[in-house]
Amino acid sequence: MPHTTAAHRRRASRPLPLVAVGALVAAAVALPQLTPDAFAATTLRGYADGRGVRIGAAVGDSPLRSDSAYTTALDREFNSVTAENAMKWDAVEPSRGGFDWAAADRLVAHASAHGQGVRGHTLAWYAQLPSWLKNGNFSASELNTILKSHIDTEVGRYKGKVYAWDVVNETFNEDGSMRGSLWQDKLGTGYIANALRWAHAADPAAKLYINDYNIEADNAKSDALYALAKQLLADGVPLHGIGFQSHFVVGQVPSTMKANLKRFSDLGLEVSVTELDIRIPLPASSDELAQQSADYKTASENCLGVARCAGITVWGVSDKYSWIPGTFSGYGAALPYNESYAAKPAYTGLSNGLDPTA
């Protein structure tokens, strides 16, 4: 998607009236083709296109296949998608060397049909590992081979179709120490540089990210990530971006978020909000929904106000399928659409965050 050119920005920020569009399409073979990203400026993706950034949503395979209200909202509003689960290790390589691409391919095909980019999620993570891998008791050298082969195969398969990969996910504890995981415990911190190098070799054009939660504020965890990122860059490792998941509680967008994202951007790295949702204790009051709207605006502006912000992804489209109630008992209502696909105040907050004139 040509989302950064000045010509594109001009085209997308001033959409033609429908009558004029019709006349153009009828009259002109030689005029530039209308592209799928020329969406009404008043949709989220219209605003994002106008700014040359991504507005994404995490997509579940089940609603993608079965819920047309879901796909209607997804395709109207978002110019980027992330596989909520379909590209994780347990989904893709359920047995050693035995790959199942069905759900991941479905999402990539859907994205391509709807003018959406794909964020790849995720390659080296402690969770959602298949049991053959978790319980295999592999030596360090075997594990190294297994990780390389998984990355070669998955990144290679989607070469040119995934614009950014969360290569490494959730690798720190809250106090900034390295989190124990299959990879960390057996391979040491060096697995991170290796994973990034292997991913880069498999798709040199994809932007490669380290992604984590509770790193939005300036704190011990983000300090540790900052030090690691700086070291990786000094070592010439192909790290291109930091993903700030941004799973927030209503009223608690960290006050240091923008300055914190800026320090990573100042290293020359892209910054992206990758999993934004803002949970509310249920039932949500109208005051809380209004606060959530303000929080969506603040969180998106905290990224978009930083030079190298590449975009914002929300972790789901509607409250109907959000992971929040299943994990945080008593909380929910975290996304821009409610369970019946009515836009909530949060939608307006996000939209205003993307609209440079709001």
Binding site for ligand 9MR (CB under 6 A): 84-85, 127-128, 169, 245, 275, 323
CB of 22 to ligand 9MR, least distance (A): 41
Nearest-5° Cα angle at 293, 290 to 294? 95
CB of 72 to ligand 9MR, least distance (A): 21
Q: Please name the residue that has the structure tokens 């949970």.
A: 279
314 contacts 350 by C-beta, under 8 angstroms: yes
In this structure, the number of other CB atoms found within 10 A of the CB of residue 328 comes to 15
The closest residue (CB) to ligand 9MR is: 323
Token duo for residue 141: 């050298």
Provide the annotated active-site residues: 275
79 contacts 129 by C-beta, under 8 angstroms: no
Q: Which is nearer to ligand 9MR, 101 or 323 (CB)?
A: 323
Q: Which is nearer to ligand 9MR, 49 or 170 (CB)?
A: 170
- Residue 81 pairs in a beta bridge with 57, 118
Q: Which is nearer to ligand 9MR, 109 or 127 (CB)?
A: 127
Token duo for residue 12: 């997308």
Token duo for residue 267: 């290293």
Q: Which residues contact 101 (CB under 8 A, 6 or more apart)?
A: 92, 157
Task: Report the alpha-carbon distance of residue 50 to residue 73 in Å, rounded.
Answer: 19
Neighbour-count burial for 59-82, b at 16+ CB within 10 Å, e otherwise: bbbebbeebeebbebbbebbbbbb
In this structure, the number of other CB atoms found within 10 A of the CB of residue 14 comes to 9
CB of 349 to ligand 9MR, least distance (A): 21
CB of 61 to ligand 9MR, least distance (A): 10
CB of 82 to ligand 9MR, least distance (A): 9
Q: Which is nearer to ligand 9MR, 38 or 215 (CB)?
A: 215
Q: Which is nearer to ligand 9MR, 323 or 341 (CB)?
A: 323
